[in-house]
Amino acid sequence: MKLERELGVYGATMMGLGSIIGTGVFVSVGIAAGIAGAGVVAAIVAAAAVATCNALSSAQLAANHPVSGGTYEYGYHYLRPWLGFSAGWMFLCAKTASAATAALGFAGYLLNVTGQRTGWLVPVSIAAVVILTAVVLSGIRQSSRVNIAIVSVTLLSLAAFVLAGLPAVSLRRLQIIAEPLPLLHATALMFVAYTGYGRIATLGEEVREPHVTIPRAIILTLVVSATIYAAVAIVGVGAAGAEALSRAATEMAAPLEIASRTFPIRVDWLVAMGAMTAMLGVLLNLVLGLSRVLLAMGRRGDMPGLFANLSASIVATGVAIAALAAIGSVKTTWTFSAFTVLVYYAITNTAALRLQADERLYPRWIAWTGLAACLALAFAVEWQVWASGIVLIGVGLIWHTLRQRWRG
């Protein structure tokens, strides 16, 4: 199935921002603050550094091999089939969990604003998944237009949050130093918040002039998102405190909206509106990215041939996200996503190390740094999470082996 090249630098960058500026800033900042306290600001900076290395590796791989599927395809092309499959399998697991978190985050903010009971959290999140899946089914051009509108509202609300909260910032709340292990744990969680840039690479077949557009869009997306994350974290922790943010994140999945109620200028309604559009933007982009990876795996035969059809892949993606959202726990879905996506980007950096000299856009040390950081952070989360992730990798590889033998 041939895909049309519809996106330029602006459209691709907005897709990246739509994937990044969402759950990470509106929900996971609160979760990470509960782990590292005011050290969440340092975790955001450290996560941005790791994400930059991974982004540059992704950019040069996508520029040289611009196809749908991202690291799944790079693993096959530059490494070994089992590593390519593992990357695709981890991407599906990680981003399905991230998408479920976004759906739950949207429902949390909506229910908090309307004063409804939290018992509606799961039904509302599933309804959001169904609606956004229908939007993606309408095509990449319509999806891009909806995404640009969503991102515009989101950026406006975050600007209002930062400006209204600055007068309430207390430097005392920002001076707490986190212990090394909690800081690493928080960095792992915040790293996931940056990984939306990978959506640009997975849309490689739908981007115009990929050799130029993809690297520019990825770098621009990271610079803008890192700046926004740092500003929001400083204001959120400095004005409301790390404990308040953490409590709001775990109980209602709406930390920024609750924190903004303490500001001298009340902007909680605008923050809630931006949060809801942000979650929808993340959900939209994750359905886009997941369906393209599933499409690539269906084409190659690693998934049933049914998924070689884009519409079938989109519907299956929506069903999987809705099922995971039914768990109803933001922290569980986000932490699981952290481990699996770090494994995915470890494979990305390994593939980047195999690029030939004439294909390489950046020095090899960037890929080495990204690889080491991903492996270190992957095992900084709770052991139950990474142990479950390893079991899941094993299950995927068993499926891959059996399917290859059956096809052979």
Residue 149's pLDDT is 83
Q: Is residue 4 part of a domain?
A: no
Euclidean distance between the first and the last CA atom of the chain, given in angstroms as a whole number: 24
Residue 171's pLDDT is 75
- Residue 118 carries which DSSP code? G
Q: Rounded to whole angstroms, how far apart are CA atoms 221 and 196?
A: 9
Q: Is residue 77 part of a domain?
A: yes
Q: Rounded to whole angstroms, how far apart are CA atoms 351 and 336?
A: 23
Q: Rounded to whole angstroms, how far apart are CA atoms 41 and 20?
A: 17
What is the token pair recorded at 232?
């929001």
Burial of 365 from C-beta contacts in 10 A (0-12 / 13-18 / 19+): exposed
Q: Rounded to whole angstroms, how far apart are CA atoms 103 and 111?
A: 12
Contact 341, 47 (CB under 8 A): no
- How many helices (H) and strands (E) would you count in the chain? 18, 0
**Which residues partner with 203 through β-bridges?**
68
Residue 328's pLDDT is 67
Q: Is residue 2 part of a domain?
A: no
76-126 confidence digits (pLDDT tens): 999 998 999 998 898 888 888 888 888 888 888 788 778 777 678 889 999
Full residue range of the structural domain in which residue 164 is found: 11-407
Give the other-Cβ count within 10 Å of 272's Cβ: 23
Q: Give the containing element (helix H, strand E) for 407.
A: helix 383-407
Look up the CATH number of the domain holding residue 18: 1.20.1740.10
Q: Is residue 82 part of a domain?
A: yes
Number of domains in the chain: 1
Q: Is residue 1 part of a domain?
A: no
Residue 347's pLDDT is 94
Q: Is residue 278 part of a domain?
A: yes
Q: Is residue 57 part of a domain?
A: yes
Contact 161, 260 (CB under 8 A): yes
Q: Rounded to whole angstroms, how far apart are CA atoms 99 and 108?
A: 14
Taking 70 as the threshold, does the pLDDT of residue 381 lie above it?
yes
36-57 confidence digits (pLDDT tens): 877 888 888 899 889 889 888 9
User: How much is the pTM?
Assistant: 0.75
Highest mean pLDDT: which range of 208-217, 302-311, 334-343: 302-311
Residue with tokens 């740092």: 230
Residue 408's pLDDT is 63
Contact 5, 207 (CB under 8 A): yes
Q: How confident is the model at residue 189 (pLDDT cuts 50, 70, 90)?
A: confident
Please count the residues of the chain.
408
What is the mean pLDDT of the segment spanning 377-401?
87
Q: Rounded to whole angstroms, how far apart are CA atoms 287 and 65?
A: 22
- Residue 210 carries which DSSP code? H
DSSP three-state, residue 195:
helix
Nearest to 234 by CA among 35, 16, 29, 390: 29
